[in-house]
């Protein structure tokens, strides 16, 4: 059982994918060509219709009210309003090209900045102007907080504890405005079959690998 953060490094993802077919690997970590085209079209549409990506996320993910301003752009009605939801777990609009049995969702946070708690000795400059080269270093406390949130959400969705999940923070996110992580999960109670192997348990061999790659 994983239920934890995994590395975003492609070589390590390939190793994990050999044991857990529902996880992404270097071949499936991006959307299909069609989905990638639709992603670009959707992002262009958002940029044309909204005053900012931040306003769109506040409306779409965190359910804040919006209106159309005098310039014909959509924006949040009360930008200084406190966001009601600290965490939102939602299905990804831009799914990776994973096996059909895998679920790709996103966990969004309104209480953490994109790089807060994920870097050593963060500075205002790094948090305000994140870069793709930023080296992340999450604390055990922060990892456990995310694990607990995802576990609670999946129990509510599935109605049982018979599932597995893994997550990572995308090193090159499309959206920097709010902290979010990519979550991959599978429901073992649905008699899922991948290839010729029915998924009823997890390989014990993976335990050492997980411990080595997240610490």
Give domain limits for the chain. Answer: 4-23+86-214
Q: Which neighbouring-strand residues pair with 140? A: none
Name the residue with higher pLDDT: 60 or 203. Answer: 60
Q: Is pLDDT above 90 for 19?
A: yes
Q: For residues 102 and 168, is the Cβ–Cβ distance under 8 A?
A: no
pLDDT-derived band at 124 (thresholds 50, 70, 90) equals: very low
- The span from the CA of 66 to the CA of 59, in Å, is 7
Q: Report the pLDDT averaged over residues 3-7.
A: 94
Q: Report the pLDDT averaged over residues 28-54.
A: 90
Q: For residues 30 and 96, is the Cβ–Cβ distance under 8 A?
A: yes
Q: Which of 5-19, 40-54, 59-73, 167-181 has the lowest mean pLDDT?
A: 167-181
Q: For residues 206 and 19, is the Cβ–Cβ distance under 8 A?
A: yes
**H or E segment and range at residue 163:** strand 163-168
CA distances 68 to 45, 65, 74, 75, 77, Å, are 15, 11, 4, 6, 9
For tokens 């999960």, name the residue: 185
Cα angle 107-41-74, degrees, rounded to a multiple of 5: 70
Name the residue with higher pLDDT: 161 or 127. Answer: 161
Q: Which neighbouring-strand residues pair with 80? A: none
Q: Is pLDDT above 90 for 166?
A: yes
Give the contacts of 41 (CB within 8 A, at least 6 positions apart): none
Cα dihedral 175, 176, 181, 182 in deg (nearest 10): 20
pLDDT of residue 136: 52
Give the contacts of 193 (CB within 8 A, at least 6 positions apart): 101, 199
For tokens 């390590």, name the residue: 12
- The span from the CA of 54 to the CA of 76, in Å, is 9
Residue 55 CB coordination number (10 Å): 20
Name the residue with higher pLDDT: 176 or 14. Answer: 14
pLDDT averaged over every residue in the chain:
80
For tokens 């949130």, name the residue: 149
Q: Which neighbouring-strand residues pair with 196? A: none
Q: Is pLDDT above 70 for 105?
A: yes
Name the residue with higher pLDDT: 213 or 32. Answer: 32
């Amino acid at each position: 059982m994983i239920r934890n953060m995994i590395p975003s490094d492609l070589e390590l993802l390939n190793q994990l994918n050999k044991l857990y077919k529902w996880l992404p690997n270097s071949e499936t970590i991006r959307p299909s060509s069609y989905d990638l085209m639709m992603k670009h079209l959707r992002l262009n549409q958002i940029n044309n219709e909204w005053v900012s990506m931040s306003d769109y996320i506040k409306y779409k993910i965190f359910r804040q009210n919006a209106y159309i301003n005098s310039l014909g752009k959509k924006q949040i009605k009360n930008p200084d309003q406190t966001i009601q939801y600290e965490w939102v777990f939602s299905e990804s609009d831009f799914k990776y090209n994973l096996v059909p049995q895998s679920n790709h969702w996103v966990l969004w946070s309104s209480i953490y900045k994109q790089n807060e708690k994920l870097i050593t000795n963060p500075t205002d400059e790094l948090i305000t102007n994140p870069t793709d080269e930023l080296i992340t270093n999450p604390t055990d406390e922060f990892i456990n907080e995310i694990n607990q949130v995802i576990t609670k959400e999946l129990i509510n969705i599935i109605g049982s504890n018979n599932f597995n999940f893994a997550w990572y923070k995308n090193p090159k996110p499309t959206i920097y405005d709010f902290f979010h992580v990519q979550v991959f999960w599978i429901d073992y109670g649905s008699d899922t079959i991948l290839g010729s192997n029915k998924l009823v348990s997890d390989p014990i061999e993976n335990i050492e690998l997980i411990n080595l790659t997240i610490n």
